[in-house]
Amino acid sequence: MRVSRFRLSVAIILIAFSSSSPVPAAGGHFFQNMMNARGGCGAVPTINLRAIRSDIREQQLLGKEDVLLFGKPILDWTEDDVTTTVRIYGDCWQKYHAMTAGPKDSPALPSFAQGAIRQFEADLRSIIKTARDIDDQRKAQVAARAELEKAKAQRRREREESEVQRQQEQLRQQAQRDRETAEETRRQAEAEEPRINEITNEAERARLEREAAERRLAEVRSRIDDQEKARRLAQGQADLADASRRQLLQRQAELEEDARLSRKCTVNLQQFNDARLGMSIREVERLFGCKGVEASAMRSYHSIVTTFTWDGRMALSRVTATFRDSTLESKTQFASIRKPEP
């Protein structure tokens, strides 16, 4: 209850103080304008320069030059600004104390208010001095960098001038060497000209001899090439005749085998067992001794599936073989009563 009454009393005092405090006209002192914007002197206890110090320092270290303190650039503050600000701050404390003091309180400012005014002035001057020191350091750094760049530019110009002089001296020395070399070359040419003519004649004779030798070599190679072509032609004709003869003999053998396999035969159990998957149709026919009867043929995907049948040795027995693309894929034997042996 006491806390609520105290808060209510402070609120009533601040409202009365704000309404009774005169509002300066526009264009007054910037600190007074700031106080008015905060509601008048009732906000004087809330001003804490120590909390502002770090923000101003951070802004300056980030390179910002127009950092404001109470609405005015901090680097533009004068001694009059400091004195006037401290006076306004102290007057606000006087008004604040007069409005908040009880009937038994002394009319003089309490010690904490006087201490706040002294601390405010000390902090204000410290913040301004620190800001100026940081600005002086920044200017010194800028000047040092400018001086360093100037020194670098001077050294660069000196190096460039030295390089130009060195290149000019090299060009003069090279020109002198070129003149000496040209003179020496001229004397050597005059001394060696007869020898050069002799060497030229020898080279011409050697060229003619080389060309004659190359022509003879080309003729020999041409004859060798002709002989090699004739040999390859004869060999090709002989190989062709031999291949034709082998094809003819193979065809005759196939015809004889077809005639032999066209005879009717029966397949016994051993022959059936010897038929291996993967054998070709011709291999199966040779194993069984005759051709089978084509029972069916069909296309399956990209393959041709053909089924052939043979008679077995037993009565009513039959052997069935299925080929996929002429390759044995499966075989089956059906048998009942065995035929009498002849």
Q: Cα torsion at 93, 95, 96, 98 (round to 10°)?
A: 120
Count the Cβ atoms, other than its own, within 10 Å of residue 77. 20
Per the domain annotation, does 141 fall within a domain? yes
Same domain, 141 and 283: no
Per the domain annotation, does 281 fall within a domain? yes
Structural domain count, the chain: 2
Q: Walk along the chain (342 residues) and give the pLDDT tens digit of each residue.
A: 333 333 333 333 333 333 333 334 445 899 998 888 888 888 788 887 887 888 888 888 887 777 888 888 988 999 999 999 999 998 888 888 877 765 545 556 778 778 888 888 988 999 888 888 888 888 888 889 988 999 898 899 899 988 988 998 998 899 889 888 888 878 887 888 788 778 788 888 889 999 998 998 998 898 888 889 988 988 888 888 888 888 888 787 777 777 778 788 999 999 999 999 999 999 999 999 999 999 999 998 889 999 999 998 887 889 999 999 999 999 999 875 555 555
Per the domain annotation, does 211 fall within a domain? no
Beta strands in the chain (DSSP E): 68-69, 72-73, 266-267, 293-300, 303-312, 314-315, 318-324, 327-334, 337-338
Per the domain annotation, does 147 fall within a domain? yes
CATH of the domain at 317: 3.30.1450.10
Show the domain range for 43: 2-155
Query: What span, in angstroms and rounded, lies between the C-alpha atoms of 114 and 96?
Result: 12
Per the domain annotation, does 250 fall within a domain? no
Per the domain annotation, does 206 fall within a domain? no
Last residue within a domain, chosen from 117, 136, 155: 155
